[in-house]
Every structure is written in structure tokens, then in C-alpha cells.
């Protein structure tokens, strides 16, 4: 794949299995023009079909795909932006919301109503955070949607948050958060965060 975003996707390459859409945004460590490329691989993954290549991502670095395959989120930790793209018609992606968050990795709940952001903190890479956002108005396609911040959580030792992956055990909700390299005296590791009460997340295990 030789379109711009696929040549330099950084950490943004995402496949939505339900719809067979493969998407990426052009990115690098900090900033890059947010060119978003979408391919259809539903019929034959050996022959992806380009759907669109558009400057709709603002600034690129990482991304997230809603489980229903209708919303593609573009995040930039260095650019402090999240953009929600309506890709229900992959031929014509439409930005429907932009937020001011230093988003690194992003994962979405199964119902599409929560965005779990592994974020650079307010004081830079030395203050990692998990941010839980209510994105139900994006999911339900409310005109000019409002996104509400539910909670934030920091932790030590310090590193760079990478992903916060939701999972459940015996009906109890958790996130598996993994850190990237560096940023402090110890390299990144992982932790399990209890989010059964979304307004009060807390770490229950450190996987070091």
C-alpha cells in the first residue's frame, strides 16, 4: 500500500473486522499532516481497495476504531488533539468532533460509548494518565456532540502510556494498561485498572 498514510502510519494502523476496513493516519513521533487512508479488505485482503485518502485527521500519531466500524479516532500526543471521523461512508470521511487531549493510544468500549485514552499528562511525559471519556453522543451521532470527561488516573513509576485495553472477568470491568519506553527511572510496564466504577478507577495489579 503506497498511499501517504500507509507509507508512514506510525502507530495508527487499524483493522475493523466487522466492516473489513483498514485505516491509518500519516504520523510520526510528534506531528504530521493528518492524511487518513481507508481501504476495503472485506472481499479480498490480498487486493485492498482504496476508499479514500483525505486530510481529515488534523495531526497523526495513533488511532482507535469503534467496534461497529463507523468511527475512526485520530490522536496526537504531541499535538494534543483527538479527532472523531464518521467513516460510515468510507468514501467520504467526515470530522464530527475535535478534542484537546494529549492522546497516545485509544481503545473504545464494546458499545462504542467510552473512549479509554492513554495520555501524556498535563506536565508532559513525566505525568502519565488514563482518561475515560463519555463519547455516547458521538456514537449516537448527535449533531455537534459533547464529549464528557468521566475520570483521570495517574500512576508510578513514571513512563509513557501506550494503550488501555478493556476486558471483563466475571462481569467486572477492567483495563489492561501498557506503558511504552522511558520517561523516568524505570522502563514501561503494565498494570490492571479497575473501572467498575468509572468515576473512581484504581490500580489493582502492577505487572512488572
Residue 125 confidence (pLDDT): 57
CA dihedral for 118, 4, 98, 28, sign (positive or negative) = positive
User: pLDDT tens digit string along 159-172?
Assistant: 788 999 999 999 99
Rg (CA), the chain: 17
- Which pLDDT band, with edges at 50, 70 and 90, does 186 fall under? low
- Tally Cβ neighbours within 10 Å of residue 20: 18
Q: What is the pTM of this model?
A: 0.93
Asked whether the predicted pLDDT for residue 116 surpasses 90, the reply is: yes
Provide the pLDDT confidence category of residue 33 given band limits of 50, 70 and 90.
confident
d(CA 133, CA 140): 15
Number of neighbours of residue 170 by Cβ within 10 angstroms: 4
Mean pLDDT of the chain: 91
Measured distance CA(202)–CA(120) in Å, rounded:
18
pLDDT of residue 121: 65
Amino acid at each position: 500500500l503506497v498511499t501517504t498514510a500507509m507509507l508512514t502510519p506510525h502507530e495508527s494502523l487499524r483493522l475493523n473486522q466487522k466492516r473489513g476496513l483498514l485505516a491509518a493516519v500519516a504520523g510520526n513521533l510528534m506531528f504530521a499532516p493528518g492524511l487518513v487512508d481507508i481501504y476495503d479488505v472485506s472481499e479480498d485482503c490480498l487486493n485492498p481497495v482504496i476508499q479514500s485518502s483525505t486530510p481529515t485527521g488534523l495531526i497523526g500519531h495513533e488511532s482507535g476504531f469503534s467496534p461497529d466500524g463507523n468511527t475512526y479516532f485520530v490522536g496526537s500526543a504531541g499535538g494534543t488533539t483527538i479527532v472523531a471521523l464518521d467513516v460510515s461512508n468510507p468514501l467520504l470521511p467526515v470530522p464530527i468532533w475535535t478534542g484537546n487531549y494529549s492522546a497516545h493510544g485509544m481503545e473504545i468500549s464494546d458499545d462504542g460509548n467510552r473512549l479509554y485514552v492513554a495520555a501524556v499528562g498535563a506536565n508532559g511525559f513525566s505525568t502519565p494518565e488514563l482518561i475515560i471519556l463519555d463519547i455516547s453522543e458521538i456514537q449516537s451521532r448527535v449533531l455537534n456532540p459533547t464529549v464528557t470527561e468521566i475520570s483521570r488516573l495517574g500512576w508510578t513509576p513514571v513512563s509513557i502510556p501506550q494503550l488501555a485495553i478493556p476486558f471483563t472477568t466475571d462481569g467486572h470491568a477492567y483495563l489492561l494498561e501498557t506503558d511504552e519506553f522511558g520517561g523516568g527511572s524505570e522502563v514501561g510496564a503494565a498494570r490492571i485498572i479497575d473501572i467498575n466504577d468509572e468515576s473512581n478507577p484504581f490500580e489493582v495489579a502492577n505487572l512488572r
